[in-house]
Amino acid sequence: MKSIIFHNNKIIANLPFKERRKILESIVKTEKLKIRPSMQFITDDENKALKFYKDALKMHEEGIMIKNLEAEYHPGRRVGFMVKMKPDTADLDLVIVGAEYGSGKRAGWLTSYIVACKSNSDFLEVGKVSSGLKEKEGEETSYEEMTKLLKPLIIKEKNKEVTIKPRLVVSVKYQNIQKSPSYSSGYALRFPRITHYRPDRKHFDIATLEEVKKEALQHKPIPFNIV
């Protein structure tokens, strides 16, 4: 758990972060592998802060949040309150080979996509991506428009899941690539999101399995930015 804004029938969003954190720690009973307050580290030493960040990445966290201890809680606001620190990302052009229908406000749309790389004449899965697109009607990269493009390519359906003829290419941004038995390529993209629909690219122009392996094997120091 990361934050608390309501306690004992009172809104406490106006309290400084450090006081809200104390309240959170007093009511959350840590249970291993179930629940705990998010790890916190307070320092004015840049080197110690960087080590904390790198340790978080080693634990497969996306990054860290840097917060103002005196700040109140303001939904959606970061400037003056917090910043997110995470690694720079890379991207690959991949083809969609499967999808799943969404629910709730996304009902009727294909909103989660299995993407694949190329290996000779085969297409091997490298992960599932469900973020990056817009929900606004009429946007080229919206879930609605993507669904319209994908429906004619459906070759099999089972419950909410569909198999897609590999034709539609998208650019997928990711943090890094790791080995995984969950996908046919043996690799999985971490924190993927779609950045562009690529009508200018054909399914045989996408990233190869060798390129995916090369990216996964890179061990150069991870650069970071603050967003």
pLDDT, tens digit (0-9, with 9 covering 90-100), for 84-94: 787 766 889 99
Instruction: Tell me, yes or no, whether 49 lies in a domain.
Output: yes
Instruction: Tell me, yes or no, whether 175 lies in a domain.
Output: yes
44 and 112, same domain (yes or no) = no
As a whole number of angstroms, the distance between CA 140 and CA 218 comes to 34
118 and 106, same domain (yes or no) = yes
Higher per-residue pLDDT: 24 or 227: 24
CATH number of the domain within which 47 lies:
3.30.470.30
151 and 173, same domain (yes or no) = yes
19 and 33, same domain (yes or no) = yes
140 and 207, same domain (yes or no) = yes
CATH number of the domain within which 170 lies:
2.40.50.140
Q: Which residues of 44-54 are buried (b: 16+ CB within 10 A; e: fewer)?
A: eeeeebeebbe
Q: Are strands 187-190 and 154-158 parallel, antiparallel or unpaired?
A: unpaired
Phi, psi dihedrals of residue 58, rounded to the nearest 5°:
-65, -25
Q: Say what the pLDDT of residue 93 is.
A: 94
Instruction: Tell me, yes or no, whether 222 lies in a domain.
Output: no
169 and 98, same domain (yes or no) = yes
Q: Which of 215, 177, 170 is nearest to 193 (CA)?
A: 170
80 and 124, same domain (yes or no) = no
What's the total number of domains in the chain?
2
Asked if 162 and 154 count as a contact pair (C-beta separation under 8 A), the reply is yes
130 and 79, same domain (yes or no) = no
82 and 125, same domain (yes or no) = no
Which range of residues forms the domain containing residue 16? Answer: 6-87
Evaluate if residue 223 carries a pLDDT over 50.
no
Q: Is the pTM of this model over 0.75?
A: no
Among 87, 104, 119, give the residue marking a domain's end.
Answer: 87
Q: What is the pLDDT of residues 22-80, one digit of tens each?
A: 999 999 888 887 888 888 989 999 899 889 988 887 776 768 888 889 988 877 655 56
